[in-house]
Amino acid sequence: MRLMMRLSENAISRARVDLCKLILETPIEQISRCGNPKILAALTTDMDIMSAGYRALINALLNTVVVLSSIAYLFAIYVPFGVMLLSFLLVGVVIQNRATRWPIARAAQARRTLDSLHESLSRLVRGARELQLNRQRATFYLETAVSRYAGKTAQLVAECMGQFALVTSLGELMFFSALLLLLLPVFSPHATATVTASAIIVMLFVSSSIGELLHLLPDMGRATASLSHVLAMFDIMQQAPRVTQQKPSPKPHFESIELRELIHEYTTNGTHAFKVGPVNFTLQPSEIVFIVGGNGSGKTTLMMLLLGLYEPKDGCILLNRKNIEAHELDRYRSYFSAVFSDYELFDTIFDCSLETAARATVLLEKLRLGDKTSITEGRFSSMALSSGQRKRLALVSAYLEDRPVYVFDEWAADQDPQFRHMFYSELLPELRRAGKAVVAITHDSQYFHYADRVLQMCNGRLSAWSPTSTMF
Ligand SMILES: Nc1ncnc2c1ncn2[C@@H]1O[C@H](COP(=O)(O)OP(=O)(O)OP(=O)(O)O)[C@@H](O)[C@H]1O
Ligand SMILES: [Mg+2]
């Protein structure tokens, strides 16, 4: 039993890691299409249900071996008994197979509702502050989303389990009736008393295995629904070409990056929603470029294209005047360090030389984070910071990566005037002096003179910004 548990848990943990690996190789847009709650449901609930199903399957295989050995034994002691038991079981399997379609369909329906439940739960957790501020909205949300989907899921799971219980009882009834029938003397006129007695013992033995097999059906049925969900997710993710992982060059050589006639198109429900490009843009070492433009003009999309995180519909990217093919994107990405506007901060630091760590410690002090956190054993000692402080730590984290190109999406937006000034007047020029290229999306027009070039994004088109142009 312990071995069985270990086998099933190992298989599930492998499946979980494989799905995570696949996520890391799937284009970001494809991941967005799947939706975070669905992916989380697949990684957590589905895997737990599949784990129970896997244990049930191993159990079922062991019981099947017992049943088959018993049938073989019956064949050995009295062939008609063996033939009859085998025929009963085959008929039983066919009937059960048909009968279980009904609860399995319910399990699939329950699984689909679970996605909606997960979505409403994750919104509830993320939006707890907003909901606590407005009790009316909280009550409405609880009733219309959480309670509704929780109730529907519970009802469907209960119906599914009820139907499985009915099918199991029916199966047991059929099997015991068949056993009794089998032992009627009319079916075994030539069997001796010893043979009949042995057959009774074997059949009692078989009946416990059959009973157990029938009781495993609900777990296996629900696991089937979860498995098809996970497979569908694998399918969606594999529809887009995967990003081949490559070893990043230890000292990336950077002369230029060029976006040539690059186009990206968003589609919503199959229809064109927004187009960025064609974009032509060149970046060189020690260059600071600001991208400005109104909300929704396409700045972040351009940044994703530059980072090689969005697949362009047309055009190409050239690194050091060499075209970057799809299979080279992973290596291309290793030229960049970025702080997104909705960034995620990880506490672990990689490949950090002593010299860089020492410089980062100076930077921590400069950004007034020295008394809040430090670099200890390859990680930041604390991340209990305010939102502005966390953003500064994200900058230190990017700095530690020591890559040739730095990209910032409205980094200074939530900084106080002192740090905003420090960012533009000290940190960016320092990066330039170190030979780094910087692309910063910004709305801070008072700092435009710190850039070598200011480009403007307007309705998806990139052009040079001039002080007389209307920006927003
Ligand atoms: N997933 C998406 N599907 C469809 N359209 C999208 C999607 N994401 C963004 N868009 C559209 O693309 C346009 C550009 O979005 P983008 O995020 O690049 O703008 P932005 O210039 O960074 O805006 P902001 O200043 O508000 O950050 C927007 O008008 C938006 O409606
Ligand atoms: Mg943006």
CA of 343 to the centre of ligand 2 (A): 12
- The predicted-structure confidence for 329-339, as pLDDT tens digits, reads as follows 889 999 999 99
Section 24-43 average pLDDT: 86
- Structural domain harbouring 328: 257-464
Q: Residue 326 belongs to a domain with what CATH number?
A: 3.40.50.300
**Co-location of 34 and 69 in the same domain:** yes
For residues 179 and 160, the model is more confident at 160
**Co-location of 230 and 269 in the same domain:** no
**Co-location of 281 and 198 in the same domain:** no
- The predicted-structure confidence for 261-295, as pLDDT tens digits, reads as follows 999 999 887 788 899 979 999 999 999 999 999 99
List phi, psi (to 5°) of 375: -95, 110
List the residue whose alpha carbon is closest to atom 2 of ligand 1: 266
First and final CA of the chain: distance in angstroms? 67
Q: Is pLDDT of 240 > 80?
A: no
**Co-location of 228 and 291 in the same domain:** no
**Co-location of 35 and 128 in the same domain:** yes
On the CB side of 202, CA atoms within 13 Å amount to: 24
28 alpha carbon, closest ligand: 1
pLDDT at residue number 84: 84
**Domain end (from 239, 273, 292):** 239
Three-state DSSP class for residue 410? coil
Q: Say if 248 falls within a structural domain.
A: no
Q: Is the beta carbon of 268 within 6 A of some atom in ligand 1?
A: yes
Domain total of the chain: 2
**Domain end (from 239, 273, 302):** 239
List the residue whose alpha carbon is closest to atom 1 of ligand 1: 266
**Co-location of 231 and 352 in the same domain:** no
Q: Is the beta carbon of 277 within 6 A of some atom in ligand 1?
A: no
Q: Is pLDDT of 35 > 80?
A: yes
**Domain end (from 178, 210, 239):** 239
Q: Is the beta carbon of 297 within 6 A of some atom in ligand 1?
A: yes
Q: Say if 151 falls within a structural domain.
A: yes
List the residue whose alpha carbon is closest to atom 18 of ligand 1: 298
On the CB side of 182, CA atoms within 13 Å amount to: 26
Q: Is the beta carbon of 442 within 6 A of some atom in ligand 1?
A: no
CA distance 398 to 409: 13
On the CB side of 117, CA atoms within 13 Å amount to: 19
CA of 290 to the centre of ligand 2 (A): 13
Q: Say if 158 falls within a structural domain.
A: yes
**Co-location of 93 and 135 in the same domain:** yes
**Co-location of 343 and 224 in the same domain:** no
CA distance 78 to 86: 13
